[in-house]
Amino acid sequence: MGKPRCGLYGLNTIFAWAKSTVDGKISFGGVSEDNVRHAVMLENTYDPRHYICMDASGSRISRTTMESPKGFHIKAGQDCDDIDGTFNIDVENGNLNIDIENGDFNVRA
């Protein structure tokens, strides 16, 4: 008689660690509701849709997910004089998909 095929069996959470405050939570080695273990997760306590997660098992192994309900801002290059570029996106295998559900795609240069 073996172990049941449901639950958190096979996901070693013995060394999992989490610390939370009123504002946020950081977690190493936790398990999500769909039994995917993460290596690291940063989560906003006020709105759980606002998070960064590096998954470590299951269908999302080696994937990083970032979600922000009100926007995502990246700023780079204030002191850069590098001719190779300041902000680069490099997709080695696969596709680069840009999905804009409600809005416009604007490029300023």
CA distance 29 to 64: 14
pLDDT attached to residue 12:
59
> Tens digits of per-residue pLDDT, 78-108?
888 777 778 888 999 999 999 999 999 999 9
Q: Where are the domains of the chain?
A: 17-67
pLDDT attached to residue 22:
95
Low-confidence ranges of the chain (pLDDT < 70): 1-13
DSSP symbols for 21-68: -SSEEEEES-B-TTS-BEEEEEEESS-TTSEEEEE-SGGGTT-EEEE-
């940063």: which residue's tokens?
42
pLDDT attached to residue 14:
74
Tokens of 66: 């970032």
pLDDT attached to residue 1:
46
Average pLDDT, the chain: 86
